[in-house]
Amino acid sequence: MAWFDEAVFYHIYPLGLAGAPKQNPYGTPEHRLNSLLPWIAHIREIGCNALYIGPLFESVGHGYETTDYRRLDGRLGTNEDLKRFVDACHAQGVRVIFDGVFNHVGRDFFAFQDLRDNRGNSRYRDWFCNVNFGGNNEYNDGFSYDNWGGYNLLVKLNQRNPEVIAYICDVVRFWVSEFDADGIRLDAADVLDMDFMRTLRRLAEEVKPEFWLMGEVIHGEYSRWVNEGTLHSVTNYHLHKALYSGHNDHNYFEIAHTVKRLCDMGSGRPGGLKLYNFCDNHDVERIYTKLNNKAHYAPVHILLYTLPGVPSVYYGSEFGIEGKKERFSDASLRPALRLDDFLDAVTDNPCTRLIAALGKVRRKEQALSYGDYKELVLTNRQYAFTRSFEGRTVLVTVNNDDQDAQLSLPAGDAAMFIGALTGARAAVSGGRIQVRVGANSGEIWLPATEDAIPESDEAASKSGERKPKMTVSVEKKSKMTATVTKAEERKPQMTVSVEKKPQMTVSKPGEETSVSKSYEEMTVEELQLAVLEEMAKNGPVTDEMRRTVEENIWHDSLVNWVKSFR
């Protein structure tokens, strides 16, 4: 078992979320990454414990035409900003995965600049694929070369060149030593050289325990990339497509067939394929936009969190925002957002409330991370299955119909099941339970144990009363469309404040006196106490949490940490 086996990911496209300009002016760094610090507490609040963030490093425009792999994009800030950001994530129990764009570079990359200047005499000629001085391109370089996707803006690296391999390996080592990265998502992994990926897997085992490699793969037999020699995981585009179209077409057969196919792909691997599951990301339309019936947001996400694989939420989709892919721009998929606009979302926004509840269940139930999958009921509009691990079985039911549905399910040895999302109860009779699944909704049924009873249900449990059955649903709400205006119409880019109240009182246990000063004026010891005070407001402070705080002796990091609490 590794940390990524139990991960719930949050995905941020930082240039978009931070409101960076579309083109890099290569000027004085702007510290926009600091505006994302408050999002770390939000990530934890909705039950995520891992962050995939990228692209991060110096580039020309959208981030995937890298100029410098060792420097944070100046539109986001400096390397010191990135160090502090990763430290703040780790301090709050969030692992951090960087985007590794190693298939291609931008035209401003130093080796390509040397090739343009020195042509056939360039020592970097063989760093790139199929350089042909008898050809030309739209930039009038006087030579041609292989690219990615037909875009000469993206110059393909020669991943069989030992110098290129050594260079990229040194970059990865730098990311770990300098920023303490926990893994890499490999961009365009489906076109990376397989031997190159094997080298990266060996490197992953060298640089850090449980360093995770996940690749962007669209189609194909995923086991080709996910195995002991190459990657730990890949993007699960098969399930992504099935989740929205299976609901739009009222066709749970498509989803179940996809799950079976994926299970068959991983049948020769212990635990199967731990694929990176998602409903949307920075390259595809928002799930709330793709669904014909917005109420299907609930069953879609229940499946995302309960089917085999590692779930991920793309920033903003937990609020139910929309974003439509445009012909020549992905800008509407990558908007700047103000966290202040969503402060009460966990209680007031049905989408966010559902995601937070699912995150809590996913983190608590190991069967959802490690359990075997077994299909129980399958029709066009209803679907039920189990996830079983170490003798514990969790039942999952979803319904894409506009009417409630009644299902009869085998219950094993349990005496009762409790709905993790609604608190509904289902007693076992004759080895089966009869459950009602709400219209366009679903439920995760847990075997009844003392710790499985939701807090809101404890009083009724002790008094012998039964709460009325409820459903979990996402009401139709007013459209919240993420739009990007023309540059001259946009508001200033620093959209999320990292400031809190400037004053706070810190008292050591048993002391009558207190210290009242701004965070910046506090000593390291006072800041550590302040962080512990904030932690205590969210629940018991464990010994491990206390040790994490005590081991952080960096003043600026502690200032950012205490300010990140809401």
The angle formed by the CA atoms of residues 355, 357 and 358, to the nearest 5 degrees, is: 65
At residue 533, the pLDDT reads 86
For 247, the enclosing helix (H) or strand (E) is: helix 237-248
The alpha carbons of the chain give a radius of gyration, in whole angstroms, of 25
What share of residues in the chain are helix, strand, coil (percent, to 5)?
Answer: 40, 20, 40
Burial class (CB in 10 A: 0-12, 13-18, 19+), 351: buried
Q: Is the Cβ–Cβ distance between 527 and 559 less than 8 Å?
A: yes
Q: What backbone torsions phi and psi does residue 465 show, to the nearest 5 degrees?
A: -85, 155
Q: How far is CA 491 from CA 323, 338, 488, in A?
A: 19, 12, 9
How many other CB atoms sit within 10 Å of the CB of residue 87?
A: 20
Based on DSSP, count helices (H) and strands (E) in the chain, helices before strands: 17, 23
Q: Which own/partner pairs from 337-340 qualify as long-range (CB within 8 Å, at least 24 positions apart)?
A: 337/17, 337/482, 337/495, 337/496, 338/495, 338/496, 339/38, 339/39, 339/42, 339/496, 340/496, 340/497
Q: Which of 443, 450, 367, 382 has its CA nearest to residue 416?
A: 450
C-alpha to C-alpha distance for 160 and 144, rounded to whole angstroms: 19
Give the three-class secondary structure for 481. strand
At residue 40, the pLDDT reads 98
How many other CB atoms sit within 10 Å of the CB of residue 408?
A: 13
Question: In DSSP terms, which residues pair with 276 in a beta bridge?
Answer: 235, 310
Buried b (16+ CB within 10 A) or exposed e, 170-188: ebbeebbeebebbbbbbbb
At residue 482, the pLDDT reads 41
Give the three-class secondary structure for 184. strand
Q: Is the Cβ–Cβ distance between 548 and 91 less than 8 Å?
A: yes
SS (H, E, C) 102-161: CCEECCCCHHHHHHHHHHHHCCCHHHECCCECCCCCCCCCCCECCEECCEEEEEEECCCC
Q: Is the Cβ–Cβ distance between 560 and 84 less than 8 Å?
A: yes
Residues making up the chain, counted from first to last: 566
Ordered strands of the 392-399 beta sheet: 372-378, 382-389, 392-399, 441-447, 416-419, 425-427
**Helix 162-179 to helix 79-91 angle, to the nearest 10 degrees?**
60
Which amino acid is it at 496? V
Q: Which of 469, 299, 280, 454 has its CA nearest to residue 385?
A: 299
At residue 496, the pLDDT reads 30
C-alpha to C-alpha distance for 273 and 76, rounded to whole angstroms: 35
For 529, the enclosing helix (H) or strand (E) is: helix 524-537
Give the three-class secondary structure for 93. coil
For residue 357, what are the contacts with CB-CB under 8 A and spacing of at least 6? 420, 421, 472
At residue 471, the pLDDT reads 52
At residue 541, the pLDDT reads 75
Q: What is the pLDDT along the chain (566 residues), one digit of tens a residue?
A: 899 999 999 999 999 999 999 999 999 999 999 999 999 999 999 999 999 999 999 999 999 999 999 999 999 999 999 999 999 999 999 999 999 999 999 999 999 999 999 999 999 999 999 999 999 999 999 999 999 999 999 999 999 999 999 999 999 999 999 999 999 999 999 999 999 999 999 999 999 999 999 999 999 999 999 999 999 999 999 999 999 999 999 999 999 999 999 999 998 777 789 999 999 999 999 999 999 999 999 999 999 999 999 999 999 999 999 999 988 889 999 999 999 999 999 999 999 999 999 999 999 999 999 999 999 999 999 999 999 999 999 999 999 999 999 999 999 888 999 999 999 999 999 999 999 999 999 999 999 864 444 444 433 333 333 333 345 667 544 444 443 333 333 333 323 333 333 333 333 334 333 446 888 788 888 888 888 887 787 667 776 567 667 766 656 556 656 765 54
The angle formed by the CA atoms of residues 445, 413 and 299, to the nearest 5 degrees, is: 15
Report the predicted TM-score, pTM, of the whole model to 2 decimal places.
Answer: 0.82
Sort strands 9-12 and 310-314 into parallel, antiparallel or unpaired: parallel
C-alpha to C-alpha distance for 371 and 367, rounded to whole angstroms: 4
